[in-house]
Chains A and B, each alone.
Chain A
Amino acid sequence: MNNVGDMMNDATDTQAESRADAPALAQDTLKMTARNVDVYYGDKQAIDNVSIDIGMENVTAFIGPSGCGKSTFLRCLNRMNDTIPIARVTGQIELDEKDIYDPAMDVVQLRARVGMVFQKPNPFPKSIFENVAYGPRIHGLATSKSELDEIVEKSLIRAGLFEEVKDRLHDSGTALSGGQQQRLCIARAIAVDPEVILMDEPCSALDPIATAKIEELINDLRGKYAIVIVTHNMQQAARVSQRTAFFHLGTLVEYGETSDLFTNPSQDRTKDYITGRYG
């Protein structure tokens, strides 16, 4: 970590203006890299020349005003933008040094390795158990019923939901409260044991207690997965992330150590945003 920080500082010193363009993670801790990514919805450009590094055992937060392209960029990382016919992505994004937009890349496997939790909780209209078991089942991760049970239980425990639902695993997942549904979606995502988890405002519909639970969960998961979280809550970004990226109007304005970015932003736009002057 120190190493990373040093490099970061070096970059800032020499080239303050283009801090965002200076990826500053040591090679061996890199999980994903994006280079010169542009995204267009039809003719409209939503992401303009974004380059970013995602660290391996680390939480990266994306912040920025509404409509600046955080979700759009997040969806590039597991190619969920493929499902939007008018979306077009250019540039290069690598996972473990493999180009994920390469035709040889298997999108289905990519999405199993790079899991996603959506902004709005979207459990399947099936039982709680089935929601969590679905991923392991389609990927053949469990060889027996008991193994599957174990995966489901473990995932629910890690998502902090097990205690609340252990007596009604076979009730509908859609009958849970919003916060419980979101934790169910997190359990569903970690049940396939991904390497990267992308979370798009996972707490936007939750009360402070549920939010705290999810933040705790993110902290627990940090050692195991690379996590990217989009949030509108500055305190949350400061609490859970190690690195923060600030987006504005489709560009990456500033990217660096969370502590640096919040205490000593190098860009005026970042400063204005985190001090609440616009957005």
Chain B
Amino acid sequence: MPSLFGIAWKNIRRKRLRSILTIIGIALSTWVLVSLLGFNQGYESSLNKDIDNLGFQVLLTAKGCPYEAATLMLKGGTGLKYMPESIVDTVKANPEVEEVTPMLMHAVFDPNKGEEGGITAFLGIDPVTYPRMKTYLQFQQGKWFNQPQALEAVFGYEAAELEQREVGDSYLLPEADVEIKVVGVLKRSGTQDDGTIFLPIRTLQKVYKVNGQVTSVGIKVNKSTDIAKYEEELYKLPDVQVVSMAQVKQTISNLVATARVMVMSIALIAILIAMVGVMNTVLMSVLERWQEIGIMKSMGAMTSHIFKLIWFETILLTFVGGVVGSVMSWILATATDKLIRSVLPYSPTSALVQIDIILALKAIGIIMFIGIISGIYPAWKAARIRPIEAIRSTEGEL
């Protein structure tokens, strides 16, 4: 016994190529949608993880001091401002502070880098506290320094690659002409640490004669601490600037919001295209079957039957397209990740696009809803066909 659903299904299969093209269109839209939803979901958690990876919630620098290697490079290695090392003890005195680690950034002009020379930046760290804060750093080779004053260096992976350094190799500190030993090469972390050359802070202070000075202090507070309040406290210290990671996160989120709007618009366009595609396909199929539908009506089909019939077709198309698109987005998740990374101003390290079954179902639901909406007009059009018109006419018209 034929059912409306069966008739709809068979009709989709009748115009195979057209149905496939429509399904591909819907699948693409679903892919965009799933990826977008996955992005919304993945981005936040990924960002949080990155911030946690920084190891400290608050960074203290001297007022006006660039605190990142990138800034330093752009400024040509100038503009470093120092704080006395004693600040570490001041900060540590607060019981809310769990751990403090002093850092010294130092930039050196190396005349043999490029045609006109270039800047090499070093980060002096405390071999005891720093590794404890940055537990996520892993070694490709070797380990951290032995002694606070050792003439030793640990290279971030990219720095090591550039300098072709392995554990046991020598390295010449530019300007100072001091030879040091490479004792460790870090694995890639996807962070700025990859490009950093780490030295014991004492060594760096001594070699470049900046004794007793630090450029920044990383602070880790107890879990229960109200960070915002604590930051206020820190501002009472003279001549410091407080960079809180919460703030960093906020800024990044704001930056990304713009990108998100862009991605959303793309998704919206994709959805509109799918909608028009569905509407077009179903409308075409209504027009082609003008007479068939008229005959069905003369055979006792109610308006609602015809409406349902055409609607089923739409739903089937969108359902198949939605499922194909979800599977596709799951398979292409890595590629999508790369694509989104290329668009975003800042991408966290771990997966940006997190797709799971609930999300896929959600997307299929949305796409089907859109399909159902786009199917209304053609279905209504078909339902209104009067049997006599269809039988009399040879071709339907809009």
A binds B: no
